[in-house]
């Protein structure tokens, strides 16, 4: 069904990330809200901070999963847990990898690969947050002769 190789089990290099004040200001503005008090980062930072902090990127994830151009990638779901609020200026450590990969067919009989990656985010040894995101990589239907 799919012409991509399964990336299940792929581990991100891991690394660290500190949310900058300007970055949080711009991101919060994009959400149409005002910045939060007491150096709190907007909770939606939990999309890009774990990805970049784990040493990967959206571009690399697209490449690993064989994205095929505009319209080929879709979001399915996010599961985000906050053990502590995120804060600007704190250096977080991230680790994670690709935890699920399935070849599936949608309701219009179009093949796609469903990929989930999970990343944990730490402040020192304390778990601050955990994400599991599921993306869809649509594939061209192979027609047999």
Partner 1 sequence: MSRIINVGDQLPEFVVPSVDPARMKTMAAILRDPYRVHWDREATREMGLDGRVINQGPLNLSYIVNMLHAFAGPTSIRRLTVSFGRPVFDGDLVVAGGEVTDVQDSILVCGVWLKRGDEIVVSGTAVVDVAALASVSS
Please tell me whether residue 23 adopts helix, strand or coil conformation.
helix
Q: Least separation, in Å, of the C-beta of 131 and partner 1? A: 10
* C-alpha–C-alpha distance, residues 40 and 86, integer Å: 6
Which C-beta is closer to partner 1: that of 9 or that of 71? 71
Q: How far apart are CA 78 and CA 132, in angstroms?
A: 6
Binding site for partner 1 (CB under 8 A): 23, 26-27, 29-33, 36-37, 40, 42-44, 47-48, 52, 57-59, 62, 70-71, 73-82, 85
Q: How far is the CB of 63 from partner 1 (least distance, A)?
A: 10
Cα 95–chain centre separation: 12
Report the nearest approach of partner 1 to the CB of residue 57 (Å).
Answer: 6
Token pair of 7 as six digits:
């990336």
Nearer CB in complex with partner 1: 76/91: 76
Nearer to partner 1, 9 or 64 (CB): 64
Sign of the dihedral defined by the CA atoms of residues 61, 62, 63, 65, in that order: positive
| Least gap, CB of 145 to partner 1 (angstroms) | 28
Residues 134 and 116 sit within 8 Å (Cβ to Cβ): yes
């Amino acid at each position: 069904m799919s012409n991509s190789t399964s990336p299940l089990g792929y581990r991100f290099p891991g690394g660290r990330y500190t949310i900058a004040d300007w970055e949080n200001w711009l991101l919060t503005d994009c959400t149409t809200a005002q910045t939060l008090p007491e150096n709190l980062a907007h909770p939606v930072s939990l999309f890009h901070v774990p990805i970049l902090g784990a040493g990967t990127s959206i571009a690399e994830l697209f490449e690993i999963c064989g994205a095929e151009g505009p319209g080929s990638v879709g979001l399915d779901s996010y599961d985000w847990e906050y053990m502590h609020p995120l804060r600007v200026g704190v250096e977080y450590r991230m680790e994670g990898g690709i935890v699920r990969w399935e070849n599936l067919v949608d309701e219009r009989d179009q093949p796609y690969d469903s990929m989930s990656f999970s990343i944990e985010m730490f402040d020192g040894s304390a778990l601050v947050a955990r994400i599991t995101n599921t993306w869809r990589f649509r594939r061209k239907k192979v027609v047999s002769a």
